[in-house]
Amino acid sequence: MLKNRFYFWLLSALFFGFLFPIDGVEAHSVLETATPEDGEQLEDAIDNVKLTFSTKVEKGSTLLLEKDDGEEIEPTSVEITDNVLEASFEESLESGLYKVHWNIIGADGHPIENQYSFTISMNEAQDVQQEEDQNSEKKDNNSNVDSETTTQNNKNENPEPQNAREQTSNDRDQINIGATGFIVVLFVAGLLLLVWILFNNRKT
């Protein structure tokens, strides 16, 4: 009898345990997919890395790349949308081996980090074209900055057109005032002359 009760309560506990799991018990986030994938060999340059995890990724998660010579490349921006982390880089990645060091904060609040690697193997012509494109982009940026600086300097150094317009307007105002004054003087003088003539006619 006691043995039957023991089994009854044990089965009941297991049953309710499955129905109502203990709050706060959550699985750690794991990397599900990556673009590029682990061990992938690319033939074209890329400028971003996208990671998808099994749970939501919290703010503060990030990643960086390490080249085969030890140089580290920080992303210019990191966007986190639900369980997806996407890092973008300022310039397209050149040929070589890259390690992706990711460090995230999972939905359970635990920090998790790991790494994987991929390779970019472009041919020589592609490498040369990529370098030329990057140099051209840098020149364009520098040219735009120089042009804006020159334009601003010209504005600061050559304010004459505005001053000339103001001076011309002032001269016209002075001419108009002078002409009006001259007309008033003539009118008053003519009026006085007319009064003087009428006064003399009455005397005579």
Q: What percent of the chain has pLDDT over 90?
A: 44
Burial class from Cβ neighbours inside 10 Å (0-12, 13-18, 19+) for residue 134 reads: middle
Q: Residue 87 is part of which domain span?
A: 29-126
**Banded model confidence at residue 194, pLDDT cuts 50, 70, 90:** confident
The total of structural domains in the chain comes to 1
pLDDT value at 196 more than 80: no
Mean pLDDT of the chain: 77
pLDDT value at 167 more than 70: no
Classify 5 as helix, strand or coil.
Answer: helix
189 within a domain of the structure (yes/no): no
| Higher-pLDDT residue of 60, 189 | 60
Give the torsion through C-alpha atoms of 162, 166, 168, 169, to 10 deg: 140
62 within a domain of the structure (yes/no): yes
CA neighbor of 75 nearest in space, from 57, 88, 62: 88
118 within a domain of the structure (yes/no): yes
Q: What is the pLDDT of residue 189?
A: 74
82 within a domain of the structure (yes/no): yes
| Higher-pLDDT residue of 148, 98 | 98
Q: What angle do CA 26, 29, 35 make, to 5 degrees?
A: 155
80-121 per-position pLDDT tens digit: 999 999 999 999 999 999 999 999 999 889 999 999 999 999
Q: Average pLDDT of 165-191?
A: 66
| Higher-pLDDT residue of 169, 10 | 169
Residue bearing tokens 């030329």: 132
18 within a domain of the structure (yes/no): no
Q: What are the CA-CA distances from residue 173 to residues 165, 170, 180, 184, 204 (Å)?
A: 12, 5, 11, 17, 47
143 within a domain of the structure (yes/no): no
Q: Average pLDDT of 141-148?
A: 62
Spatial separation of the C-alpha atoms in residues 167 and 163, rounded to whole Å: 6
Residue bearing tokens 């994987």: 116
54 within a domain of the structure (yes/no): yes
Q: What percent of the chain has pLDDT over 70?
A: 57
Q: What is the pLDDT of residue 6?
A: 47
Buried b (16+ CB within 10 A) or exposed e, 159-197: eeeeeeeeeeeeeeeeeeeeeeeeeeeeeeeeeeeeeee
Q: What is the pLDDT of residue 19?
A: 46
CATH of the domain at 43: 2.60.40.1220
Spatial separation of the C-alpha atoms in residues 164 and 167, rounded to whole Å: 5
